[in-house]
Amino acid sequence: MRPAERSWTLALALGTLAVAGLTLGPALWPRPHAPQVMRAELAPVSAPDAGAEPPTYATTAGVRPLISGRVNLNTATEEQLEALPRIGPALAARLVAARPYRSLADLDRVRGVGPSTLRVLAPLVSFR
């Protein structure tokens, strides 16, 4: 076989492998195993202090906030729930449907409420 024919045959073989989605790389140069990634443990979310002051919201002559102090998840309207951070219309509807709430654990069971949302909402909500 002539050198030109050999290079053409090699190119054809490599092209066939590429079309098939195969490569020679891992077979010729194996990569070391990827390091195992450990999942971080989530810190437990604690209830806010009973003596802590609820947040205050700015009021002007033309603007009155939908919420003041802590929002009671058992009695708040969907509009009041939407005024909370990270709560949109769909999640507000799910929160209303999942009533009653007695603790943050009950709130954590609602689809769409995760650990980061719980941390944000903990000082803003009440259950009574």
Segment (H or E) for 18: helix 3-20
Return d(Cα 121, Cα 39) in angstroms, integer.
24
How many CA atoms within 13 Å lie on the side-chain side of 74? 9
pLDDT in tens, 46-55: 665 656 666 6
Burial class of residue 83 in the structure, from the number of CB atoms within 10 Å of its CB (0-12 exposed, 13-18 middle, 19+ buried): middle
Return d(Cα 53, Cα 48) in angstroms, integer.
10
- Please give the pLDDT value at position 70: 87
- Please give the pLDDT value at position 103: 93
pLDDT in tens, 60-116: 566 565 556 788 999 999 998 998 889 999 999 999 999 999 999 999 999 999 999
For the question of whether the overall pTM of this predicted structure is more than 0.75, the answer is: no
- Please give the pLDDT value at position 107: 94
* Ordered domains of the chain (ranges, CATH): 71-126 (1.10.150.320)
- Please give the pLDDT value at position 113: 94
Give residue 44's identity as a one-letter amino acid code.
P
pLDDT in tens, 9-43: 766 666 665 555 555 555 555 555 555 555 555 55
- Please give the pLDDT value at position 97: 96
- Please give the pLDDT value at position 56: 66
